[in-house]
Amino acid sequence: MLFYVLRRVLYAVPIAIGVTFIVFSLVHIAPGDPISALLPNEATQEMVEQARREFGLDKPLPVQYGVWLASAATGNLGTSIGSGRPVSEEVAGAVWNTVILAISAGLVACVAGFILGMVAGLWRDRPVDHMVSLFTISGVSLPHYWLAILLVIVFAVNLNWLPPLGIGPDNSDGWRPDWPHLRHLILPTIATAAIPMAVIARTMRASVVDVLDQEFVTTLRAKGLLPRRVLWHVIRNALPTTLAVMGLQLGNMLGGSVLVETVFAWPGTGFLLASAIFQRDLPLLQGTMLVLSMFFVILNLVVDLIQSWTDPRIRRA
Amino acid sequence: MHGTMAPTAAEAELPAETPVRHHSYLSVVFLRFIRQPIPMAAAVILLVIALAAIGADVIAPHDPYQTRVARRLAQIGTADRWLGGDELGRDVLSRLIYGGRISLTMAIVPVAIGLFVGGFLGILAGYAGGRVNMAIMRGMDVFYAFPSILLAVAIAGALGPGLENGIIALALVFIPPIARMAESVTTQVREYEFVIAARLSGASTFRILREHILANVAGPILVFASSQVSVSIIAASGLSFLGLGVAPPQADWGLMLSALRQAIYSNPWVAALPGAMIFICSMCFNLVSDGIRRSMEVRR
- Each domain of chain B, given as residue ranges in start order, spans 36-67+83-295
Q: Are residues A67 and A141 in the same domain?
A: no
Q: How far is A290 from chain B (nearest CA, A)?
A: 10
Calpha distance B217→B119 (Å, rounded) = 9
A158 found inside a domain: yes
Calpha distance A98→B97 (Å, rounded) = 36
Chain B residues whose CB is inside 8 A of the A251 CB are 147
Identify the three-state secondary structure at position A193: helix
CB contact under 8 A, A296 and B159: no
Query: Is the distance from CB of A120 to CB of A205 less than 8 angstroms?
Result: yes
| Domain count across chain A | 2
* B106 in contact with chain A, both atoms CB, cutoff 8 A: no
Kindly report the average pLDDT of chain A as a whole number: 82
**For A10-27, what is the mean pLDDT?**
86
If pLDDT is split at 50, 70 and 90, which confidence band does A121 have?
A: confident
Least confidently predicted of A39-48, A126-135, A139-148, A267-276: A39-48
A7 found inside a domain: no
pLDDT number for residue B300: 42
**Mutant choice from A36, A146, A160, A295 vs B, greatest count of B C-beta within 10 A:** A146
**Does A35 have pLDDT greater than 70?**
no
Q: What are the pLDDT digits (tens) for A303-315?
A: 888 877 777 776 6
Query: Is the distance from CB of B80 to CB of B60 less than 8 angstroms?
Result: no
What is the per-residue DSSP string for A247-314? HHHHHHHHHHHHHHHHHHT--SHHHHHHHHHHTT-HHHHHHHHHHHHHHHHHHHHHHHHHHHHH-HHH
**For A202-211, what is the mean pLDDT?**
87
- pTM, two decimals, is 0.84
**Mutant choice from A10, A20, A136, A141 vs B, greatest count of B C-beta within 10 A:** A141
What is the per-residue DSSP string for A36-101? HHHS-TT--HHHHHHHHHHTTTTS-HHHHHHHHHHHHHTT---B-TTT-SBHHHHHHHHHHHHHHH
Residue of B nearest to A285 (CA): B154
Total residues belonging to chain B: 300
**Does A236 have pLDDT greater than 50?**
yes
Q: Are residues A115 and A43 in the same domain?
A: no
Question: For the purposes of burial, counting CB atoms within 10 Å of the CB of A157, is it exposed (0-12), middle (13-18) or buried (19 or more)?
Answer: middle
Query: Is the distance from CB of A157 to CB of B268 less than 8 angstroms?
Result: yes
Q: Are residues A37 and A143 in the same domain?
A: no
**Does B229 have pLDDT greater than 90?**
yes
**For B156-172, what is the mean pLDDT?**
90
pLDDT number for residue B10: 47
Nearest by CB: A285 against B147, B158, B241: B158
Q: Are residues A108 and A49 in the same domain?
A: no
**Does A99 have pLDDT greater than 90?**
no
Chain A residues whose CB is inside 8 A of the B154 CB are 23, 26, 273, 285, 289
What residues have CB less than 8 Å from B171, skipping those under 6 apart? B109, B110, B113, B114, B117
Q: Are residues A220 and A304 in the same domain?
A: yes
A86 found inside a domain: no
**CATH classification at residue A240:** 1.10.3720.10
A120 found inside a domain: yes
Q: Does domain B36-67+83-295 have CATH number 1.10.3720.10?
A: yes
**Does B241 have pLDDT greater than 80?**
yes
A132 found inside a domain: yes
Phi, psi of A79 (to 5 degrees): -115, 135
> Domain containing A20: what range?
15-73
Q: Are residues A55 and A143 in the same domain?
A: no
CB contact under 8 A, B145 and A145: no
Last residue of one domain, picked from the residues A43, A73, A103: A73
Q: Are residues A143 and A63 in the same domain?
A: no
Residue of B nearest to A32 (CA): B159
pLDDT number for residue A180: 74
Helices B148-159 and B163-190 cross at an angle (nearest 10°) of: 140
